[in-house]
Amino acid sequence: LVDAHQAVVDISKAGKDYWQRPGVWEDIHAAFEEFFRRNPNVTASRYNYAWYANACGDWDVLNQQLALLSEPINYDYFGGKESFELMRKTAAEHAKTKNPAK
């Protein structure tokens, strides 16, 4: 389901606004929660979950996932160390803020 949403963005060139649409985060969140329920030790996928939580604006989930990332952090996955630190700062500032699309 996550891949289907990503394909919509890739094919349609919908851009960043797509991630704020109603229902998108609910699908992605549910898919990752089920994945980690079944695969609790697959830590590399935490990067993906964090990326989507950031794109969709769920700061609480993003903060949870950032705390679970293994060291050393692969900053390149998030666009470099500066981008990662900005994402981390934004998530901390918006903790407990709900996604406006919810």
* Distance between CA atoms of residues 2 and 8, nearest Å: 10
Label residue 102 by pLDDT band (50, 70, 90): very low
* Distance between CA atoms of residues 85 and 75, nearest Å: 9
- Model confidence, pTM: 0.86
* Distance between CA atoms of residues 101 and 71, nearest Å: 32
Helices (H), 1-102: 2-12, 24-38, 45-56, 59-68, 81-93
* Residue 13: predicted pLDDT: 80
pLDDT, one tens digit per residue, over 41-97 is 998 899 999 999 999 999 999 999 999 998 899 999 999 999 999 999 999 999 765
* Residue 77: predicted pLDDT: 95
pLDDT, one tens digit per residue, over 7-50 is 999 999 888 889 999 999 999 999 999 999 999 999 889 999 99
